Amino acid sequence: MIDIRLIRENPDLVRENIKKKFQEQKLPLADEAARLDKANRAAINEASDLRARRNQLSKQIGMLMGQAKKDPAKAAEAEAIKAQVKADGERLAQLEELEDKYKAELRAVMMQIPQIIDPSVPIGPDDSANVEVQRFGEPLVPEFEVPYHTQLMESFNGIDLDSAREVAGSGFYYLIGDVARLHEAVLAYARDFMIGKGFTYMIPPFMMHGAIVEGVMSQTDMDAMMYKIEGEDLYLIGTSEHSMIGRYIDRIIPAETLPHTLTSYSPCFRKEKGSHGLEERGVYRIHQFEKQEMIVVCRPEESMDWYEKLWRYSVELFRSMDIPVRQLECCSGDLADLKVKSCDIEAWSPRQKKYFEVCSCSNLGDAQARRLNIRFKDTDGKISLAHTLNNTVVAPPRMLIALLENNLQADGSVVIPAVLRPYMGGKEKLEKAKAV
């Protein structure tokens, strides 16, 4: 959500930003926001004038009533002023209702207007215009055939999709044995990796109230992603970033404690509506998964520096597991409405002979902070909105696809990266299961 002062002082900037995001259907929102803001301020000013006049007239009534004993005409004058005070009171009540109405309507409109994107964001209508920035590691294609990821997991007796469909439907899975253990090893390693970077490890609530959901994401994303608990004001989280940022609602943070650098574990639940191609089946696009996230709450002037650090942590982590990756800059049309700037870290798939997304790093500026009223207080007493950022550390089982494919050997075994072996009891390889 942008600052209303942009609507008042620089509406052309707001309109141009909407155009850059290829959301021309939202252009009328800028004018509607300006209209509601003007009407609201007029109601506030009139109400303020009425309150001031009421105080002044109340003093006159008291004075006139004191004089009425000697001069009966004063009593009549006092009654006339009382009638005026009553009329003003009725009008004031109307204005206060109007203020609440305009405020609610203005907020609803403002929450649909996209955040002002950073000037460095490439302009384009959708993800086809995203820009590759740089690569890390050599993407290799082995001479032998790389099986589809679920076949690869099945070769280790590591997955059961059929039973999961019976129990919960499509989009769910059972991980078994060494594959399940590798899944947990990746999460444990990712946790320790981020702790080593100075981040505080946390486990947040896995559900949150609607007010928090509204504060951390757009209505469009909310409808597409979130599962709501029937009959309760509770939603299952789609990512721990949401409940982690929600922790700061209505908080004033002492500036000297910033930045807050946090890494959180959670299961994640997503609708993932729509049909998907072959490469997005299996455990690539699913309704339930686990994830390690990194979150930063900082001063505005620090947020771009943190953005650079966060995506580079992802590169370092994946390269430590012998997985080639690239940084892909998200274009304007591919940015969610609350984001100022975003990039994906994509891992190399030897089977597909292309990269696919494993991490998403975002600077949300003051968008979430404005919605949730997250502020910090400097030593001089000045209070300002904080900036928030987030990035995926790892999100297995999807990232297991990259790990298994890039470490697959010609005999069907998979070399376990050295950094994961302590979490696998020293095991160095996954060996194909013997036929039964």
How many angstroms separate the CA atoms of 387 and 338, rounded? 12
8 Å CB contact between 365 and 172:
no
- Residues 191, 270, 371, 375: which is the catalytic one? 270
Region 334-353: mean pLDDT is 96
- Position 128 pLDDT exceeds 60: yes
In CATH terms, are 4-110 and 127-430 the same topology?
no
Short-list 124, 140, 120, 108, CA closest to 33: 108
Taking only the tens place, the pLDDT of each residue in 395-409 is 988 899 999 999 999
Any catalytic annotation for residue 342? no
pLDDT, position 53: 83
- Residues 360, 362, 371, 405: which is the catalytic one? 360
- Residues 181, 371, 375, 398: which is the catalytic one? 398
DSSP for 245-275, written as a single string: HHTTTT-EEEGGGPPEEEEEEEEEE----S-
Q: What is the CATH number of domain 4-110?
A: 1.10.287.40
Any catalytic annotation for residue 53? no
Taking only the tens place, the pLDDT of each residue in 140-170 is 999 999 999 999 999 999 999 999 999 998 8
- Position 280 pLDDT exceeds 70: no
Angle at 275 between CA 400 and CA 352, to 5 degrees: 40
- Residues 107, 357, 384, 421: which is the catalytic one? 357
CATH 3.20.20.70 fits 127-430, yes or no: no
pLDDT, position 282: 79
Domain ranges of the chain: 4-110, 127-430
Three-class SS of residue 135?
Answer: strand
Residue 58 in tokens: 């109340």
Any catalytic annotation for residue 360? yes
Any catalytic annotation for residue 357? yes
Place of tokens 């004031």: 92
Any catalytic annotation for residue 270? yes
8 Å CB contact between 330 and 344:
yes
